[in-house]
A and B are shown apart, each in its own frame.
Chain A
Amino acid sequence: MLAYIIRRLLYAIPILIGVNLLTFTLFFVVNTPDDMARMQLGIKRVTPEAIQKWKAERGYDKPLLYNGTAEGAGKITRTIFFEKSVKLFVFDFGRADDGRDIGHEIRMRMGPSLAIAVPAFILGLFVTISFALLLAFFRATYLDFWGVVMCVAMMSISSLFYIIGGQYLVSKVWHLVPISGYAGGLDAGRFLLLPVLISVVAGIGSSTRWYRTIFLEEIGKDYVRTARAKGLSEMAVLFRHVLKNAMIPILTGAVVVIPLLFMGSLLIESFFGIPGLGSYTIDAINAQDFAVVRSMVFIGSVLYIAGLLLTDLSYTLVDPRVRLQ
């Protein structure tokens, strides 16, 4: 088991290098160091000297990938790519193009992101599973039919509409929660209520349908029939057998997402003015702040890989027959 984990972690290294190389090339084609300098130095009265100075200070005056003028290993190491990527592997993100410490920023913003993502995830899982169970219980009745129709309809609505509509009605027209903003501590509840609710509602359609099919598949299996033949009540069958066995695909599907919760949600955070990682990312994209985007890409990749690993591990936990080697 331990050997497996170590091997998987080693396997992550080439992936992360690939990710870095890819984002690096993509972003430097878009944004030459000159562009970054001009972006940061502002609009008025920017001189070429100021740009040179800015670049030199941040180490952007070196060649991108290959330094012909340097000696030996310096040909590779004395380049922007090497200097900017290697540190990422020890989670030293350096400074954003505007001079602020990215690591500090990420730590600050992680809280608000998680404060939305975690409740939304758990509540969403709970609501959709119970809804799906309900539909499975009433399978092949008109209740099930209309439930599925409702799910498909809800799936077909763009999440933008949920957010726009929710914010408009609940905050603006009904004055039930603050329109946007965030506060730390206990006060956060008021601000989180609507975003969490909206992310749950927006996810109901597709998840419920997906879980319902899992349940139905499980219900069709022989052991369920046996259980029913034993005279167990439908409730007991559903909860004791079907739910338990269906949890394997559900959990493994959900586990992948858990690490990515850190990344925050782009839309919700920017609509509700929540200072999380999602809005950080959007800001960085808009400001073309390469240092931040690169760090976020890196973190995203690491979390994704962690998610895959967690999924594998969770298989062994819910199903002892699975062995990792």
Chain B
Amino acid sequence: MRNFQRHACLLALVAFLSGCGEVWNNPYPTQDSGKNILYSAFTERPKHLDPVQSYSEDEAEFNAQVYEPPLQYHYLKRPYTLIPLTAETVPRPRTVDAAGRDVPADSPRVAYTHYDIRIRPGILYQPHPAFARGPDGKLLYHGLTQDDLRDIYSLRDFPHSGTRELTAEDYIYQIKRLAHPRLHSPVYGLMSEYIVGLKEFAEALKAEDRALAAAGRQHAWLDLSKIPLAGVELTGKYSYRIRIKGRYPQFAYWLAMNFFAPVPIEADRFYAQPGMADKNLILDWYPVGTGPYMLTENNPNARMVLERNPNYRGEAYPGEGEERDAAAGLLADAGKRLPFIDKVVFSREREGIPYWNKFLQGYYDFSGISSDSFDQAVRISVEGEAGVSPEMTAKGIKLETSVGTATRYFAFNWLDPVVGGGQADAAARERAKKLRQAISIALDWEEFISIFANGRGIPAQGPIPPGIFGFRAGDAGINPVVYDWVGDAPRRKSLEAARKLLVDAGYPNGRDAKSGQPLVLYLDTTDRGPGDKPRLDWYRKQFAKLSIQLEVRGTDYNRFQEKVRKGAAQIFVWGWNADYPDPENFLFLFHGPQSRAKFQGENAANYTNPEYDRLFEQVKHMENGAARQALIDRMMAILREDAPWSFGFHPKDYSLHHGWVANLKPNHMARNGLKYQKIDAAQRERQRAVWNRPVLWPLGLMAALLAAGAAPAVIGWRRREQSRGRA
């Protein structure tokens, strides 16, 4: 009887599975097969989709497709170039003096910089209930009661939607939202330093908010349009002006980020209605934009879906790029109307392995993971180097590599008495410097890259990665403290050189020359997961090469940050991802007045060097050019000599994608690349069928095994029944 059950189960299983079509393991609904849908994944659930709060790459994956700031980066050109997105042109900053008269940019009388932005007319928002109007022209869903909301669980439950033309006012509204007392904009602090009157505006809003709270309406909508913001001015229906204190040439880059995207006042008011937040109907969850896509499904546990925005104005595919782009076929679609793909399905993939395996089975179109999680998510091949293995080439998988605008490093805390550089005694400073240099040589980042990053990185010669102005390739760009130029490539100095430096530093053989005590250094890291052990071992091995004993202290991220903030860490591992492609965004990591421990700035190593700080103040405001390069070179020389970091590596981004994906070029600044991409769904369908043919013999084998296992039982049963019969 049991056999019957087993067999029945098995048969049912087979029948059930064969119902799924020729491939059994398709994780998507069968009716979606062959459609113009791009499949991707996300590992971390996005925390914020509100453009004023969102600041991470995972979130930009969605937001950048929906929101359109005035500027964007050119998709193909390198170095990264700003081009208009909704603006007519890239605004030219106008420098004025205190009285508002135009003055040259290098004049000492410069008091403000004006950015005049003109946006294109005729741009429409995506369909959204916030814009829906009744026959009387009144907004339909702006006076919702609890009753109206009873059966509403998502935006799709609103029967009507509408749209509206994009105006300059929407941009101003968003800038005001930076100072919103109930939102946390990560850039508010920085922007309040620059945008005229933002601080005062924030105070006024706070007062208004308090007044509302006092009136018992804590969560009532705060109308930002009523209070004026001095630094932003509406100059026409389609134009506005931003006033910046002093000069801040990097401001243009911020205009390409979601912090400066438009937010329609209707949406803000719509979501602020009582009862909406309880149903997760908030701007932080459902973005409203003018971009090529709109977020139609937001289920951060399982999937997020972007669909083509029917009101999208249609941008044209760029017609020029880098030289090699034409050969790579990236210009074939020049002039065609964007976007190409109808729908993008992002599935939540928490674990790296399923992600990778599904990619190999053709269920993800590319393994485009953010550089942070790539390492754990994808193991390409045991072979370290860039390149796809023969099996993958056979599958038509292609590889795009590009050096990211990021850097990973070991920082030496400047405040530390052993490795830091803040000692009063010049001799002690010199000793510590030698020690840092010795360690910098001994830390074999080439090996690190090959073991842990699958070769995805280039050893750093300084903080500035390639592709950013100020980076120097070749002989002139190497770090002479750590590298020699041999032949046509940099070569890390020998361990002998490091040991010699260590002797000079007063630690021959890793022992204090005076006391004979071994030198013990402490490394703080956030690597503490069970999978991080190899890395910890590797760190220890590097220091052991100099006979220095390294104590690795793995802590959780909070504790780590706290230590760094207090300046209590000695050596620590960290990284930096650029906000915008300007050297200032890397050089400020060493700026004394931005020391983390003293001023809560981004200079986590707390490095200070008056000469460097002076140069930094100069370089900050300069236009790119030979003069700027010369100063940056001097700053690099100082950093390399002082070695406040052991410059690690600039992670290379790999993105693997299947042969049916076209127009893919990694761009570390622009996150709105989806609109350029194209897929060949029919080819994908064919490949999937070939790669996922179910293997059936194990089912047969299992059935046979079960039968074999059951046989003795059946025999035993018979025998027993017979013996009973006889007795």
Contacts and interface: CB of A to CB of B under 8 A. Distances in A.
Interface string A130-172: 1000100110010100000000000000000000000101111
Interface size class on chain B is 35 or more
B713 A138 contact: yes
Interface string B330-353: 000000000000000001111100
Contacts of B349: 180, 273
A70 interface: no
Contacts of A181: 27, 302, 347, 354
A41 B357 CA distance: 33
Contacts of B182: 57
Contacts of A50: 184, 186, 188-189
A40 interface: yes
A173 B712 CA distance: 31
Given A138-B716, A141-B716, A175-B23, A187 B29 contact: yes
Given A177-B25, A271-B351, A44 B55 contact: yes
B287 to A, nearest CB: 15
Interface string A178-206: 11111100010111010000000000000
B514 interface: no
A271 B694 CA distance: 21
B651 to A, nearest CB: 16
A158 B390 CA distance: 35
A54 interface: yes
Contacts of A178: 25-27, 358, 363
A143 B347 CA distance: 47
Contact of B29 (A173, A183, A270): A183
Interface size class on chain A is 35 or more
A47 B189 contact: yes
Contacts of A190: 17, 20, 24-25, 27
Interface string A255-285: 0000000000000001111010001100100
Interface in A45-100: 45-50, 53-54, 57, 98-100
A175 B358 contact: no
Contacts of A175: 23-25, 361, 691-695
Contacts of B712: 143
A171 B357 contact: yes
B716 A101 contact: no
Interface stretch (A3-11, A31-39, A309-317): A31-39
Contacts of B24: 175-177, 190
B361 A179 contact: yes
Interface of A: 31, 35, 38-50, 53-54, 57, 98-101, 104-105, 108-109, 130, 134, 137-138, 141, 143, 167, 169-183, 187, 189-191, 193, 233-234, 270-273, 275, 279-280, 283, 288
Given A175-B692, A178-B25, 10 more contacts: A39-B558, A47-B600, A172-B357, A176-B698, A176-B699, A190-B20, A273-B349, A273-B351, A275-B299, A275-B301
Interface of B: 2, 5, 13, 16-17, 20, 23-27, 29, 45, 47, 55-56, 181-182, 184, 186-190, 278-280, 284, 299, 301-302, 347-351, 354, 357-358, 361, 363, 556-558, 561-562, 579, 600, 602, 691-695, 698-699, 712-713, 716-717, 720, 724
25 contacts: A31-B558, A44-B55, A45-B55, A47-B600, A49-B189, A99-B284, A108-B301, A130-B5, A143-B712, A169-B698, A174-B698, A175-B691, A175-B695, A176-B25, A178-B358, A179-B354, A179-B358, A180-B358, A181-B354, A189-B16, A190-B20, A270-B350, A270-B351, A271-B354, A272-B354
